[in-house]
Amino acid sequence: MTVINPKLPVLVTGASGYIASWIVKYLLEEGHTVHATVRDPARKESVAHLEAIAAKAPGMLKLFQADLLDQGCFDAAMLGCELVIHTASPFVLSGYTDANEALVRPAVEGTRNVLDSVSRSGSVKRVVLTSSIAAICGDNADLATVPGGVYTEEHWNTSSSVDHNPYQYSKVAAEREAWRLHDAQKPRRWDLVVINPVMVYGPSLTKSSASGSIDTLLQMGRGKMRTGVPSLEYGFVDVRDVARAHLRAGFIPAAQGRHILSSRVLGMIGMAQILRQRFGNSYRFPRTTVPKPVAWLFGPLSSDVTRKFLARNVGWPLRIDNSKSRTALDIQYRPVEETLIEHFQQVVDDGLVRRRDGKVSP
């Protein structure tokens, strides 16, 4: 069991990110001192929301410059910290020519650089790593080979590679590297607790945070999926639940191992139905499911997915066991309906989508 002193600073890497911003917010509101690493503390558009939160919270925010591939750059930010929450990771889903250079190497080397600093620090007792469900499962079709037909924390993604689902592969490669470095300690000075969220939705604390979920919302809101969506299931979880889970993983002494975070598994058509129930016909949300052969034929022409991805995910059910997060971290999941409606409302309020009649808001 690892007891973290709440009076000592907590390091959060990649602090301006979608999930990390909520982690920083909750830490500051609980009175913690937060050492927050960002690429450029002088870039006000990326840190202004963190400074605004800190101005109203009892905690203290200290910004540090750090880059994942810059060896030793996390040392200064880690001074005096017993808890490190490592969220920083490359988030690039398209537009690259070399998946290894764009995704895998930065994810693995970045994790290694942070944990090397942890080992040098002399003060860090626990690292909470933001991983992903992608480190547990690659394609929905893989579930057919899983005993019991349900993914748990015991499973690892073995089907992704640099050539197939490279983003997913980067997540599993980075987490495996983290566990390798953790297990190699002699003697063991710090422990590792891992958070494995499914697709994360919910309001962002900044307009500039990138996430795969907002891309899906934008495509739905802008009518790009109005002709129909494939029968594709994936897990949903609220960003605020994910942030809370990181704090509990850090401060609950008995926390250990991996934790799947998933509120509910839902198909894309189910997501569209939830949004239509709230926003009516103001937006061109899809109403139908596209047959798998049609999705397989035309999908690669209109998106960044491959035919192999479609073949191994469309029409395949997904089952995820979230019981460990509920018992070990006491996570009370928000309803998916609340998460999706609040996130889409923010997209509307930010003027990122327009109604069918051309107006900005409903």
pLDDT tens digits for 73-104? 999 999 999 999 999 876 665 566 788 888 89
- What pairing do the DSSP bridges indicate for beta strands 199-201 and 10-13? unpaired
Greater pLDDT, 241 or 295: 241
CA distance 92 to 11: 24
Four-point Cα dihedral 211, 171, 68, 240, nearest 10: 40
Residue 215 reports pLDDT greater than 70: yes
The mean per-residue pLDDT over the stretch 257-270 comes to 96
pLDDT above 80 (res 303):
no
**pLDDT score recorded for residue 49:** 95
Residue 198 contacts residue 234 (beta carbons within 8 Å): yes
Query: Which residues, at least 6 apart from 222, have a Cβ–Cβ distance to it below 8 Å?
Result: 284, 353, 354
Q: Measure the CA–CA gap between 103 and 85, rounded to whole angstroms.
A: 20
Q: What is the pTM of this model?
A: 0.93
Percent of the chain with pLDDT over 70: 92
Is pLDDT larger for residue 203 or for residue 353?
203
Structure tokens at 192: 């590792």
Cα first-last separation, the chain? 51
Please say whether the dihedral angle defined by the alpha carbons of residues 125, 21, 102 and 229, taken in this order, is positive or negative: positive
Question: Which pLDDT score, from 0 to 100, does residue 305 have?
Answer: 73
Judged against a pLDDT cut of 90, whether residue 223 lies above it is answered with no
Question: 227 near 284, Cβ under 8 Å?
Answer: no
Residue 298 has pLDDT above 70, yes or no: no
Would residue 292 show up in a list of annotated catalytic residues for this protein?
Answer: no
pLDDT bucket at 300, cuts 50 / 70 / 90: low
12 in Cβ contact with 37 (< 8 Å) = yes
Question: How many angstroms separate the CA atoms of 269 and 130, rounded?
Answer: 28
**CA–CA separation, 1 vs 253, rounded Å?**
5
E-state strands within 183-228:
191-197, 199-201
Calpha distance 326→74 (Å, rounded): 32
- Domains of the chain and any CATH numbers: 10-201+238-263+318-335 (3.40.50.720)
Mean pLDDT of 218-223: 87
Average pLDDT rounded to a whole number, residues 146-160: 94
Candidates 56, 171, 308, 359; catalytic one? 171
In the prediction, which pLDDT does 360 show?
Answer: 52
**Does pLDDT of 290 surpass 90?**
no
- Whether the predicted pLDDT of 173 surpasses 60: yes
Most confident option among 169-178, 203-212, 288-297, 302-311? 169-178
What secondary structure does DSSP assign to 70-120, as a single string?
STTTTHHHHTT-SEEEE-------SS-S-HIIIIIHHHHHHHHHHHHHHHH
Q: pLDDT tens for residues 185-197?
A: 988 999 999 999 9
Residue matched to tokens 């499911």:
289
CB 221 within 8 A of CB 283: yes
Name the residue type at position 110: G
pLDDT bucket at 362, cuts 50 / 70 / 90: very low
Cα–Cα nearest to 338, from 213, 233, 240: 240
pLDDT of residue 299: 62
d(CA 116, CA 81) in angstroms, rounded, equals 14
pLDDT of residue 224: 84
